[in-house]
Structure 1
Amino acid sequence: MEDLLKKVIGNASTYCVTGSTGYVGSWLVKSLLQKGCIVHATARDTGKFSSLLPLWNGGDRLKLFKADLSQEGSFDEAVKGCHGVFHVAASMEFNVLPTDNIENYVQSHKLDPAIKGTLNLMKACSRENVKRVVFTSSISTMTAKDINGTWKSIVDESCQTATDQMWNMKPSGWVYVLSKILSEEAAFKYADENAIDLISIITTTVAGPFLTPTVPASVQILLSPITGEFVFNSILQAVNDRIGSIPVVHIEDICNAHIFLMEHTTAKGPYICSAHSSVMSQLVDSLALEYPYSQIRRSSEGQHDSIPSVLSSEKLTTIGFAYKYGLKEILEQSISCCVQQGFLKNPSNHDGNP
């Protein structure tokens, strides 16, 4: 049996996961290990590995690396010998920006480092002969409106937000949006010029249970109608304004989609991954039903606006991917995990305030 196990592990695919201590990254590491893969998990702060190691339970198939996207060559050891790389790492910080010279500050302190970091990873893949990379993109880079502000009937992978619109309007989360768009553009350009097979997965609002010791930003964004947290709620509203609805996906589904695309030989380019969409009023109603202890109010008579645009995952489902979880399960599991972590009050001793 031991010899058989060694043979299986010896033939297992080896993958590198950047940003492995974040929400998607940590769950992706767990998913890959459960499939029998060898995983090279990277983090800028290796101290964050300590709380995840017992949950990953990777044994000899898990190797940990300290790597910093800002340092060229930092990922060479981590990607060496890998069949593919999952580039999940991204900043989800929403810090207050300076009021003076904001464009110059954002370009030099946010966008240039994000682009450089992505290219540093891609260069490491070139040096170590890694030929396939899956890039974690975001629904925040997409828009359901044309240049005249009219809703499109179908939103597919071609409906990217214009960068000049982000610079001009500066909606909530605009710096994050620009960093994802520009980093992805740089990655595809480099991949085309250096014979790397690059796939991007356009994630919608990811929620459900989590392994991280703190509540992930995307879960806080989805639950912001309950908590009333202004910054996260404004981001949720910005998504609704740009897409016409709030699209969501379960953490297990998004990680399964990453692996599916990595292993699908004909996969190419960007893929939207969205399990369900609901307008803001419908989402609020659903949250009120799942967590009736908050002060959010359901819409009168349960009436909702229709979704103006259909966000299509057809490109992904056509090649065989299937979702496991719907909105109710996503909200149930998100709320349950947040209650367990003390982020939301336990219903058994709730005093009526979130």
Structure 2
Amino acid sequence: MEDLERSQAVMEVGGPTPTYCVTGATGYIGSWLVNTLLQRGYIVHATVRDPAKCLHLFSIWTGTDRLRLFRADLKEEGSFNEAVLGCDGVFHVAAPMEFNVAVEKNIENYVQSNIIDPAINGTLNLLKACLKSKSVRRVVFTSSVSTLTGMDSNGKWRPVVDETCQTPLGQVWNTKASGWVYVLSKLLTEEAAFRFAVENGIDLVSIITTTVAGPFLTCNVPSSIQVLLSPLTGDPELLRILSAVNARMGSIALVHIEDICSAHIFLMEHAKASGRYICCAQSCTLSKLFDHLAQEYPCSNLQSCRFMEDEHQNEVPSEISSKKLRDLGFNHKHGIEDIIHEAITYSLSYGSLPPVGS
């Protein structure tokens, strides 16, 4: 209710109801962001790659004349031109979700040409559309904590991880840790976006999402929730990704889906927002995460995963700091207990968890 009242106040002071475009509207963050914007009274242009695959969302979004759907694809130049026309701001949420690839030969060339280049070119196509629109005042880019590392150049744990602690590109290419393709794609796409924005006078703000969980509107359990709950499901690939996150950060940083969407809107509308912002409610060690999961949903898979916490554990976990965002006036509403409880509750309804005690 407070968020709704604040949004209505902003619209009353600012004049006409703002119109915002959301790319990747069928994804986890994108679908919830569209829903949040509509609930707060905004006009929304939502882009989807394949309208036929998001029919379930139409029933959620119906009952309003403030939503327009556009077919758009990052791989198609100019496909975002119509969607951003007349918009006051754009939330660029759409992104490839490849974590790893199964190519054995010339893997670097394959990743560059089939994943990274399309992601960068798609983002630049969107920014070019924003320039042409003459109406877009700000673009909020959805980045990821995968672009950060908790270790310094000497391999020592940092006491605080902030927006400046970027993962070195060379390290990603050389180690190819689990999930490396996604890490590389996010790093290079964000870098290209800021470079283009500076060169062309676009007001670009980046929000660095930590592991997002909680309720969801998508047909399938979102990948971030699957990774978070992998100690319960025992999925080996997802467990490796969770372990790689812990190895890079020294802990698992979490944020509720409602908070991350509120933060997107907050950064879109705050006059002083600039640069990159980490959005993290809390972070915890793997052992603490296991404890939270066990308390909420005890099962035998969890015990078999305890080995993960030993190899890369930081005795005093780095603080994944949202100080820059908090200093601007943003407050998180949900803590770890809420995040895990709702992620498990919604996942259970999809039958994606083993029976309790199994």
| SS in structure 1 of the partner of residue 65 of structure 2 | helix
TM-score normalised by the chain length of structure 1: 0.92
For 2:302 and 2:341, the matched residues in 1 are separated by 17
> Is the Cα contact below 8 Å between 1:13 and 1:83 reproduced in 2?
yes
Equivalenced residue count is: 340
Among 206, 220, 228, the alignment partner of 2:226 is 220
Q: Are residue 187 (structure 1) and residue 156 (structure 2) matched?
A: no
Per-residue displacement from partner, 1:170-229 (whole Å, max 9, x unpaired)? 111111111111111111011111111000000000000100010000000000000011
TM-fit CA distance, 1:351: 6.7
> Is the Cα contact below 8 Å between 2:19 and 2:87 reproduced in 1?
yes
Aligned to 1:325: 334
Among 58, 62, 69, the alignment partner of 1:57 is 62
> Is the Cα contact below 8 Å between 1:220 and 1:232 reproduced in 2?
yes
Aligned to 2:123: 118
Among 80, 99, 105, the alignment partner of 1:75 is 80
For 1:222 and 1:90, the matched residues in 2 are separated by 20
Q: Are residue 26 (structure 1) and residue 38 (structure 2) matched?
A: no
For 1:197 and 1:251, the matched residues in 2 are separated by 25
Aligned to 1:135: 141
Counterpart amino acid of 1:147? S
**Distance change (3 Å), C-alpha of 1:299 and 1:12:** same
Any unmatched runs of 5+ in structure 2? 1-10
> Is the Cα contact below 8 Å between 1:131 and 1:195 reproduced in 2?
no
Among 245, 261, 265, the alignment partner of 1:239 is 245
> Is the Cα contact below 8 Å between 1:278 and 1:307 reproduced in 2?
no
Q: Are residue 88 (structure 1) and residue 93 (structure 2) matched?
A: yes
Counterpart amino acid of 1:338? S
For 2:356 and 2:165, the matched residues in 1 are separated by 45
Counterpart amino acid of 2:182? Y
TM-fit CA distance, 1:93: 2.9
Aligned to 1:291: 297
Q: Are residue 200 (structure 1) and residue 195 (structure 2) matched?
A: no
Stretches (4+) displaced over 6 A: none
For 1:291 and 1:175, the matched residues in 2 are separated by 31
- Identical residues among aligned pairs (%): 60
| SS in structure 1 of the partner of residue 172 of structure 2 | helix
For 1:341 and 1:209, the matched residues in 2 are separated by 12
RMSD: 1.9
TM-fit CA distance, 1:133: 0.2
For 2:104 and 2:151, the matched residues in 1 are separated by 29
TM-fit CA distance, 1:230: 1.1
> Is the Cα contact below 8 Å between 1:24 and 1:255 reproduced in 2?
yes
Q: Are residue 281 (structure 1) and residue 290 (structure 2) matched?
A: no
TM-fit CA distance, 1:295: 3.2
TM-fit CA distance, 1:299: 6.8
> Is the Cα contact below 8 Å between 1:208 and 1:331 reproduced in 2?
yes
Counterpart amino acid of 2:323? E
For 1:179 and 1:153, the matched residues in 2 are separated by 27
Aligned to 1:42: 47
Q: Are residue 149 (structure 1) and residue 155 (structure 2) matched?
A: yes
Any unmatched runs of 5+ in structure 1? 1-6
> Is the Cα contact below 8 Å between 1:135 and 1:198 reproduced in 2?
yes
TM-fit CA distance, 1:294: 4.3
TM-fit CA distance, 1:58: 5.2
Name which of structure 1's ranges 193-202 and 94-103 shifts more when overlaid on structure 2.
94-103
**Distance change (3 Å), C-alpha of 1:224 and 1:351:** closer
TM-score normalised by the chain length of structure 2: 0.91
For 1:115 and 1:90, the matched residues in 2 are separated by 10
> Is the Cα contact below 8 Å between 1:33 and 1:58 reproduced in 2?
no
Aligned to 2:178: 172
Among 242, 249, 256, the alignment partner of 1:250 is 256
For 1:58 and 1:285, the matched residues in 2 are separated by 42
